[in-house]
Amino acid sequence: METLCRNFLWDGGTEFMRSPLVSWDKVCKPVKEGGLGLKNNAHSNKAAIAKFVWWITSKSDHLWVKWVNIYYQQQQLSNQKGHEYSIFKGYECLREKGAIVPWHGCVWNKWNIPKHSLMAWMYYHNSLNTNEKLKRLGIAEDDTCYLCGIECESQDHLFFNCCYSKKILENVEQQIKVKLSTQNILAWLQQKKGTIKKQGIVTAIVTACLYQIWRQRNQSKFELHLTKPEIVARQMMGDLRIRIQ
């Protein structure tokens, strides 16, 4: 079941032969810890069984139930003594907790177009298969950027330092009268300037820029075609205005 879920996430089908871009352990973490909030099947199953055991122990006084009470509850649910059991609490006891990531609000910002959020999630995990990464892994020989054809295609170069990407960002800046270009996009987004709605909309614009730059990069790689940055920026802002209205 877990394999089917994993394959569907990364390929939209049941069979997937390539390595996932983000590990399943990370995918199954809550969104604040950098995951997609999916449940780990094994832990969910154990938590559900524990609920059943808990229910039985409250209804019966048989010897085997006492054994379950002594063995299972003390082994797995010791933190829940004195509290009512729930599958959620059981699951939380079983899973490995992670640190809260600073970028979860940028990825799951309500103004984002959903497909942009998923791409940004991979960006913040530094998991996009850029040419720099593919060359480092021995999969590609050439790490040259598909957008400018000059520099090494790292994530930082591709999204913020490439001359093509800069033109998209500059065009968007002119439209919204806000300076976007920065080396540390996360720190910039966390400055929290303006109202919550304005922050959300600017975050959605930056997230859309990430998505469109990556899309143009893939279009250049697979279709050998690159749309003019001003056209990309204009279409992107048009889509966002529909979303925000």
Buried b (16+ CB within 10 A) or exposed e, 74-94: eebbeebeeeebebebbbebb
Q: Which is nearer to Zn ion, 124 or 146 (CB)?
A: 146
**CA distance to 23, 119, 134, 166, 187, per residue, from 131 (Å):** 20, 17, 5, 19, 25
CB of 26 to Zn ion, least distance (A): 28
Task: Give CA–CA dist 90/193, Å, rounded.
Answer: 40
Q: Which is nearer to Zn ion, 21 or 152 (CB)?
A: 152
Amino acid at 181: S
Q: Is residue 201 a contact point for Zn ion (CB under 5 A)?
A: no
Could you give the string, one character per residue 142-171, with x where binding to Zn ion holds by CB under 5 A and - elsewhere?
A: ---x-xx--x----------x---------
Stretch that binds Zn ion, among 59-67, 107-115, 139-147, 224-232 (CB under 5 A): 139-147
CB of 157 to Zn ion, least distance (A): 6
CB of 168 to Zn ion, least distance (A): 12
CB of 143 to Zn ion, least distance (A): 11
The answer to whether 108 touches 117, Cβ cutoff 8 Å, is yes
Q: Is residue 213 a contact point for Zn ion (CB under 5 A)?
A: no
Contacts of 86 (CB under 8 A, 6+ apart): 51
Total interface residues for Zn ion by CB under 5 A: 5
Token pair listed for 215: 């899309």
Binding site for Zn ion (CB under 5 A): 145, 147-148, 151, 162
